[in-house]
Structure 1
Amino acid sequence: MTLLDQKRPPAGPAHPPEPPSRTASWLRDLALGIRFAAGGGREGWIRTLLTAVGVGLGAALLLVAASVPHMLDERSARSHARSETKISQSPDAQAKKSDSTVLRIEASTEYHGHTITGYLMRADGTHPVLPPGIDALPAPGEMVVSPAFGDLLDSPDSELLRQRLPYKVTGTIAQAGLRSPGELWFYAGSDTLTPATGGHRIAGYGKPGPADPMSPMLIVLIIMVCVVLLAPVAIFIATAVRFGGDRRDRRLAALRLVGTDIRMTRRIAAGEALFGAALGLLVGLALFLTGRQFVGYIEVWDASAFPSDLTPDARLCVLIALAVPFTAVLVTLAAMRSVVIEPLGVVRNGRDRGRRLWWRLLLPVAGLAVFGLGGRIDEYSVVNPYPIAGGAVLILVGLALLLPWLVEACVGRLRGGPVPWQLATRRLQLSSGAASRAVSGVTVAVAGAVALQMLFAAMNDDFNKLTGQDPSRAQFYSHSEIVRGDAALHTIKEFRATKGVIQVIGTIEAYATKPGKYAADDIQPTTSFTVGDCATLRELARITSCRDGDTFVAHPKDKEQAGWVDRTARKGKVVEFDSYGRGKPLHWTLPADSRTVEGRTDPLGEEHSGILVTPGAIDARTLPSAETVAQIRIDENVPDAAEYVRNTAARIDPGMRLGTVTSLERDRQYESVQTGLQVGATATLLLIAVSMLVSQLEQLRERKRLLSVLVAFGTRRVTLGWSVLWQTAIPVVIGLAVAVAGGLALGATLCWMVGKEVTGWWLFLPLAGAGASLILLVTLLSLPVLWRLMRPDGLRSE
């Protein structure tokens, strides 16, 4: 025993080393994958950039979607800020005259299909209230305009519009006074506007009163629009993170050769996808910030926005920033489960284990069940958005998951055919997954669009009502509160002299009542009182003979209503015209020799009844609260005939209300939702086209060596071009078939849920045509890259 032995500590049991932390190993492997993606050379960067571009496009559209709530709030706030402050529930209530009140009358018009909104204004004092966006009220003969309206006025083609609004432009309305940059809006000054000529006195802006509640049916439509527009974006992002999967798997096989295990390999692949997704978020943010600067110059379906309106909600931004990388990692790990990466190669989709169908059918079935749990909805229901959105998402995602199985099952049975067909089918048989992923976005978008179109068609009658008007007898009608002794005749004369006008029905209209005292709960007998020349009265009643000075009592077909007319229009008795606080009531005696005639229906669909008189029977200037009304028929073959009519109306009375005779009236909220769908569908369709193109280019890049080998063996470029077309067409055709079937089922379920009958089973044809047109577009855009890749130098390797 030596001295060293005495100093050596006694031997004890050896402690095993502590196992490494699972979190630390995850972070280490993810960091290694990020290093491979960032430092993988030219090929690695190409794949990463393809992923970043794909994810960036989707992220940019998600940021736009996240900006929609703020955009709508800002538009609504500006709209409310310029609305008249309501002083009571009565729509006719006016403010009391003061130093700050303003008289105004709406002077809106149309020009070549564009709606122009404006007001004639006159201050009551020296400190008038101002609408947002202007610093001073325009002087008489002057006007301030929105920038878009100013550009329209300066256009060489707007000579008729400048004649209609002969005011000097002295200022521009700022953003605070406009809903959107493309809005056509103006304020003009007047020195002739009075309450007697239709002026309405206001005391302020900013409190328009409560808005009309939105129909539950429209709420269902809005929910479905959001789901249908955003579901393809999510699927596209999930597809983009798998770009370049074949080359990635071969590189991971090399890592297996140096000692990594299966789990570590998958985590490294997840790190690569995480880096591509994070870079895609930055690309999406850059695209969003860049595109936002030009959004004011873009107008789609008459909708536009200010750049400042496109500000995404902070909570939604955080959700996008977390969801996109999480989706990238999740999709990558799920994809790696179908791949066996060994040290000497990659085995993908072995024949002994095909795609399973049963679990792919669970999601659509679950979606239908969720719809059933949500129950049916009527116009009085309180809408719960979660079953509607959840059911739609399950069905659409289920269709996307069903597509790979169906493509594999279909292409596996294809045999023979021309050389391009065989090249395409063989390629799809070897790798149908990439083709299915590229088409899944089209499938989901078309299926959702089919369902929405069916729902719109089923709800059409609720929001589009027949007016009963006859556009073949008249195309315009006008109302003016300027009544002179010859007002009707003057209006007829001016309109008849207008270029392109064929016929005019012009009248002065008021209401006559039976005089006397009535209890509060009694209804005072009232009937309409119409002044017009003989030609006009013949359009309103069945009159055989007529001369100036004649009077008539027109009965409607309904006998009960005819009795109500006779209670007021008593021949030889006095009728009264109420001045509504603007003076003393007028009394007039209906001649005892007035003839009884049968009323007719005018072009506005109204059956005329009551007292009809010619101008010689009464001085129309004495009628209180009367209106000059004209119904105008034009020759639609005369260019700009409608614009000439509008110019005449503005010349007769700048505040004249000129409307269009139409047989169908559309609900504004419904029309707004439909416009939003069209705008969103256009953006989604463009995204799908770009996604298919990026996916196609990625697949061509993966097959660069194979294409070079085929060319070296004498394969013609035309043959390869047709093969690329068939490789795109076959999955798209199968995807469209799935989309049509799924969309019809979803649409029928939605119609059942809202209690409507399916009226449009064939609405899928235009949508299927749009999807099919993407095939040709993507193929044509990918041909230049295909020609470049089919060079002999593609066989060179390092």
Structure 2
Amino acid sequence: MRLRQWSRDVRLGFRFAFAGGREGWIRTLLTAVGVGLGVAVLLLTTAIPNALAERDERGNARSDMGFNRTEPERGDATVLVDTVDTTFRDKDIRGRALQPEGPRAPLPPGLEEFPGPDEMVVSPALKRLLESDEAELLRERLPQRITGTIDESGLVGSAELAFYRGGEGLGDRLDDGVIRLDRFGDPMVSTERMDPVLLLLILVVVVVLLMPVGVFIATAVRFGGERRDRRLAALRLVGSDSRMTRRVAAGEAMAGALLGLVLGTGFFLLGRQWAGSVEVFDVSVFPSYLTPSPLLALLVAVAVPAAAVLVTQFALRGVVIEPLGVVRTARPARRRLWWRLLLPLAGLAMLYPMVGNGRDGGEFNQYLVTGGVLFLLVGVTALLPWIVEAVVARLGSGAVSWQLAVRRLQLSSGTAARMVNGIAVAVAGAIALQMLFAGVDDDYTGSTGKDLTRAQMQVGVPEGMSLDATRARFEATRGVTTVYGFSEGYVGDRADTPERMASVTVGDCASLRELAALPSCEEGDAFVVRGAEYDTDTPAMVKQGRTLYFSPSSEDEPSHPVAWPVPRDLKEARSIPDPAGMRRGGILLTRSALPRAAVASVPGQLYLRLDESVPDARDYVRNTAAAIDPSVEPMTWVSTEENNRFSAIRTGLFVGAAAVLALIGVSLLVSQLEQLRERRKLLSSLVAFGTRRSTLALSVLWQTAVPIALGLALACAVGLTLGAVLLRMAAASVRVDWASVLAMTGVGAGVVLVVTVLSLPPLLRLVRPDGLRTE
């Protein structure tokens, strides 16, 4: 009997939601849209692990790395592969040259047949780029005829730039980057242990990104709460008791949540399709990648309606619904502080045992990390209503707009706090993460030592090309101002199996002065370098009358060392940092001091200084290199290098933060519109009595600005505390990047400002005097 009564009350709540007149379905629609947006983000989040796994699986399936396998013998089922990657502006392009050695040669995933020598098969994104007006320089580098596109199975993302082209004569370069394969795919997928600090970063990123979504959903199910309570009061008037009204309210909330699940699924499907056409921070996916885990999707489907019911019941705990009205207009009881403080304290207590673990202290407990961060961020949502209530109760007189805003906040401080809870949680989490990233950045980002003021690119001289001829081609390239050319090799103290080795650098005097401080330099001079890094063999080897031997340029070449007697007039030079940031040692030779027979033993390297004012200067250099030898790809120098996993986590944070900020902005706008709709008659009454519209607009701005200022202040305090604890857990020194803290706070304030501006046009429409009309 009781179950049947409960079922009937819940069904009545469903009827109120969908058949309760205009007010009822507008409230249900607002709730459903809010919940739907949150559900879409949750479904997207549950799909991310599958998307990352798909990208890795596609990458492994097409892998042609030879160091994880034994090179097969030539046969009718082998193929030669040469890596011909390139870069266009700031976009990396994956390239492979293929030469089948028999009719059963394996095809890489995504190809139906091998391209011919002057043909290439490209990814759809690269095809669009090559056909665009801006790709003239790239077309010069990739002049082959396009005969097809790579299928989705051969790409890791929809926006990936990749190509396969036909190769010729690759067998002559098997020892120079070309490999032979009998299948594609990496047989030894890495199972490297995850760095504990990186795992900590991932856990915190997930909690920080999902927590605002949960706050938003909890806020969405309370849209239109005041009107709902007045309808429940009408139920009391016709004979229902308080328990029945709560069950009806639960049914109404569940109806909005279930409709939200339907809309959320639709939003997710639309977003999934849209995600296949965009690239965010150089990451793209195919729509098929974004398939949520069935178990996690089921968890979302169960958790959202359950949370809607729980939040509704929690909201009604302090409301007395009587037959003649809702006892909420009286002064509410003051909020208690003690239990609100317990939440962040519990979070700190869960994180404290892991302080000092660092990278070498073992794994961080995933449950304690997740729970600790969650409790700290939930503490923001618990403390903010108390802070808003305590502050607005003490606000005094001022302009009319200020008084209107303050009085409204004093009457409904809880509603104002709920509106900004999401942005406060997001900012607190972002500040903590920014501190953690900044604190461990030095461990995962290192300086390359390269002096970008002296050179910005480096390119190897192809085998069989003279250094001078290659250098002349680059000196004639647009955007290149200076070219330093060196030939680099080694000499040993024996012709066979030397015990000591010394580096040899050959170049003209101008180039050698980039490596060492020379006393004087003329063609034919030779120098021994002092003061180098990690050079202990040279002083013992370089003695007058001794003969040294040039080593062959490749270990696979027949050993025919070239003898070189140490000259009597060998000069001394002092090592200085070279363009790559190293202090070279060994021996420096001018061109004529190098034995002619040893030229092949010292391959050349060119270092290029560019005119940064020339647009696409680097692409002009790449085109010159491709014209000399298509397999040569110049190296672009950078000042720092970042760990790939650390960079991937940071990229994931940026992508997720962008989505969460967009969601928060939409949630604030919906909340603001819902508040304005509920106060339409009051605002219209003020206008009818002569209140200026500008005054009302300013009052709306103050009503948003005061809670958001308090929320951001609390977010800064909690974010700094959480960030400091996380840094201590990672065994890193605690330091605050105030510029980042201000930036995070400014972004949060900016979102609120945009939402306020967008809500002004609906406000001006709602405050017309005809808003007093009723039926």
TM-score when normalising by structure 2: 0.95
- Asked whether 1:754 is paired with 2:730, we answer yes
- Asked whether 1:644 is paired with 2:625, we answer no
718 and 88 in structure 1: CA distance in 2 versus 1, 3 angstrom threshold: closer
458 and 167 in structure 1: CA distance in 2 versus 1, 3 angstrom threshold: same
- Asked whether 1:589 is paired with 2:563, we answer yes
Q: Which residue of the partner structure matches residue 383 of structure 1?
A: 364
* Superimposed CA distance per residue, residues 178-212 of structure 1 (whole angstroms, 9 cap, x where no aligned partner): 11111111122222433255423333211153434
- Asked whether 1:133 is paired with 2:114, we answer no
Residue 562 of structure 1 and its aligned partner are, at CA, apart by 4.1
Tell me how far apart the structure 2 counterparts of residues 82 and 245 of structure 1 sit (CA, whole Å).
Answer: 55
* Superimposed CA distance per residue, residues 247-294 of structure 1 (whole angstroms, 9 cap, x where no aligned partner): 000010010011111111111101100000000000000111122122
Residue 546 of structure 1 and its aligned partner are, at CA, apart by 4.0
Q: Which residue of the partner structure matches residue 218 of structure 2?
A: 238
Letter aligned with residue 55 of structure 2: R
Secondary structure at the residue paired with 2:134? coil
Count residues with an aligned counterpart: 768
Q: Which residue of the partner structure matches residue 582 of structure 2?
A: 606
Residue 650 of structure 1 and its aligned partner are, at CA, apart by 1.6
Residue 433 of structure 1 and its aligned partner are, at CA, apart by 1.4
Unaligned stretches of 5+ in structure 2? none
Q: 1:671 aligns with which of 624, 641, 647?
A: 647
568 and 264 in structure 1: CA distance in 2 versus 1, 3 angstrom threshold: farther
Question: Contact 1:526–1:568 (CA<8 Å) still a contact in 2?
Answer: no
Residue 177 of structure 1 and its aligned partner are, at CA, apart by 1.1
* Superimposed CA distance per residue, residues 214-244 of structure 1 (whole angstroms, 9 cap, x where no aligned partner): 3211111111110010000001000000000
* Superimposed CA distance per residue, residues 573-592 of structure 1 (whole angstroms, 9 cap, x where no aligned partner): 14142465533212212233
Superposition RMSD in Å: 2.1
Q: 1:478 aligns with which of 459, 474, 497?
A: 459
Q: Which residue of the partner structure matches residue 526 of structure 1?
A: 501
Q: Which residue of the partner structure matches residue 470 of structure 2?
A: 491
Residue 626 of structure 1 and its aligned partner are, at CA, apart by 5.1
- Asked whether 1:29 is paired with 2:5, we answer no
Letter aligned with residue 475 of structure 1: Q
Tell me how far apart the structure 2 counterparts of residues 427 and 264 of structure 1 sit (CA, whole Å).
Answer: 31
- Asked whether 1:512 is paired with 2:491, we answer yes
- Asked whether 1:316 is paired with 2:296, we answer yes
Matches within 5 A, 1:346-745: 346-348=326-328, 350-351=330-331, 353-380=333-360, 381-484=362-465, 487-515=466-494, 524-557=499-532, 561-564=535-538, 566-567=540-541, 572-578=546-552, 580=554, 582-593=556-567, 595-598=570-573, 599-618=575-594, 627-745=603-721
Residue 705 of structure 1 and its aligned partner are, at CA, apart by 0.8
Q: Which residue of the partner structure matches residue 84 of structure 1?
A: 64
Question: Contact 1:498–1:648 (CA<8 Å) still a contact in 2?
Answer: yes
Tell me how far apart the structure 2 counterparts of residues 50 and 320 of structure 1 sit (CA, whole Å).
Answer: 20
292 and 542 in structure 1: CA distance in 2 versus 1, 3 angstrom threshold: same
Secondary structure at the residue paired with 1:134? coil
Tell me how far apart the structure 2 counterparts of residues 621 and 492 of structure 1 sit (CA, whole Å).
Answer: 21
Question: Contact 2:535–2:586 (CA<8 Å) still a contact in 1?
Answer: no
Residue 349 of structure 1 and its aligned partner are, at CA, apart by 7.2
Matches within 5 A, 1:48-197: 48-84=28-64, 86=66, 88=68, 94-193=71-170, 194-195=172-173, 197=176
* Superimposed CA distance per residue, residues 605-663 of structure 1 (whole angstroms, 9 cap, x where no aligned partner): 12222233344344678656753311110111222222211111222222224212222
435 and 625 in structure 1: CA distance in 2 versus 1, 3 angstrom threshold: farther
Question: Contact 2:68–2:187 (CA<8 Å) still a contact in 1?
Answer: no
Residue 534 of structure 1 and its aligned partner are, at CA, apart by 3.2
Q: Which residue of the partner structure matches residue 4 of structure 1?
A: none
Q: State which drifts further: 663-672 or 686-695.
A: 663-672
Letter aligned with residue 530 of structure 1: T
Question: Contact 2:119–2:146 (CA<8 Å) still a contact in 1?
Answer: yes
Secondary structure at the residue paired with 2:133? coil
Letter aligned with residue 510 of structure 2: A
545 and 640 in structure 1: CA distance in 2 versus 1, 3 angstrom threshold: same
Unaligned stretches of 5+ in structure 1? 1-19
Question: Contact 1:103–1:199 (CA<8 Å) still a contact in 2?
Answer: yes
Tell me how far apart the structure 1 counterparts of residues 367 and 487 of structure 2 sit (CA, whole Å).
Answer: 55
Residue 703 of structure 1 and its aligned partner are, at CA, apart by 0.5
Letter aligned with residue 595 of structure 1: L
Secondary structure at the residue paired with 1:297? coil
Residue 678 of structure 1 and its aligned partner are, at CA, apart by 0.4
507 and 130 in structure 1: CA distance in 2 versus 1, 3 angstrom threshold: farther
Tell me how far apart the structure 2 counterparts of residues 624 and 647 of structure 1 sit (CA, whole Å).
Answer: 26
Secondary structure at the residue paired with 1:346? strand
Secondary structure at the residue paired with 1:586? coil
Q: Which residue of the partner structure matches residue 3 of structure 1?
A: none
208 and 497 in structure 1: CA distance in 2 versus 1, 3 angstrom threshold: farther
73 and 540 in structure 1: CA distance in 2 versus 1, 3 angstrom threshold: same
Tell me how far apart the structure 2 counterparts of residues 284 and 270 of structure 1 sit (CA, whole Å).
Answer: 20
Secondary structure at the residue paired with 1:294? helix
Residue 100 of structure 1 and its aligned partner are, at CA, apart by 3.0
**Which of the pair has more CA radius of gyration?**
1
Tell me how far apart the structure 2 counterparts of residues 633 and 777 of structure 1 sit (CA, whole Å).
Answer: 45
Residue 547 of structure 1 and its aligned partner are, at CA, apart by 4.4
* Superimposed CA distance per residue, residues 69-128 of structure 1 (whole angstroms, 9 cap, x where no aligned partner): 110110000011111264657xxx744333333333322222221112212333333432
Q: State which drifts further: 692-701 or 286-295.
A: 286-295
TM-score when normalising by structure 1: 0.92
Residue 708 of structure 1 and its aligned partner are, at CA, apart by 1.2
Letter aligned with residue 26 of structure 1: W
Question: Contact 2:532–2:584 (CA<8 Å) still a contact in 1?
Answer: no
Letter aligned with residue 27 of structure 2: R
Q: Which residue of the partner structure matches residue 792 of structure 1?
A: 769
453 and 310 in structure 1: CA distance in 2 versus 1, 3 angstrom threshold: same
Letter aligned with residue 266 of structure 1: R
Q: State which drifts further: 527-536 or 267-276.
A: 527-536
Question: Contact 2:535–2:585 (CA<8 Å) still a contact in 1?
Answer: no
Residue 317 of structure 1 and its aligned partner are, at CA, apart by 0.6
Residue 572 of structure 1 and its aligned partner are, at CA, apart by 4.0
488 and 556 in structure 1: CA distance in 2 versus 1, 3 angstrom threshold: farther
Residue identity (%): 50
Secondary structure at the residue paired with 1:503? strand
Letter aligned with residue 222 of structure 1: I
Letter aligned with residue 441 of structure 2: N
Letter aligned with residue 167 of structure 1: Q
Residue 501 of structure 1 and its aligned partner are, at CA, apart by 1.2
Letter aligned with residue 170 of structure 1: T
Question: Contact 2:354–2:364 (CA<8 Å) still a contact in 1?
Answer: no
Residue 168 of structure 1 and its aligned partner are, at CA, apart by 1.7
Question: Contact 1:239–1:438 (CA<8 Å) still a contact in 2?
Answer: yes
Residue 542 of structure 1 and its aligned partner are, at CA, apart by 3.1
Q: State which drifts further: 150-159 or 237-246.
A: 150-159
Question: Contact 2:490–2:504 (CA<8 Å) still a contact in 1?
Answer: yes
Q: State which drifts further: 260-269 or 655-664.
A: 655-664
Tell me how far apart the structure 2 counterparts of residues 235 and 528 of structure 1 sit (CA, whole Å).
Answer: 63
Secondary structure at the residue paired with 2:514? helix
Q: Which residue of the partner structure matches residue 188 of structure 2?
A: 209
Tell me how far apart the structure 2 counterparts of residues 213 and 171 of structure 1 sit (CA, whole Å).
Answer: 40
Q: 2:747 aligns with which of 757, 770, 787?
A: 770
Secondary structure at the residue paired with 1:311? coil
Residue 789 of structure 1 and its aligned partner are, at CA, apart by 1.0
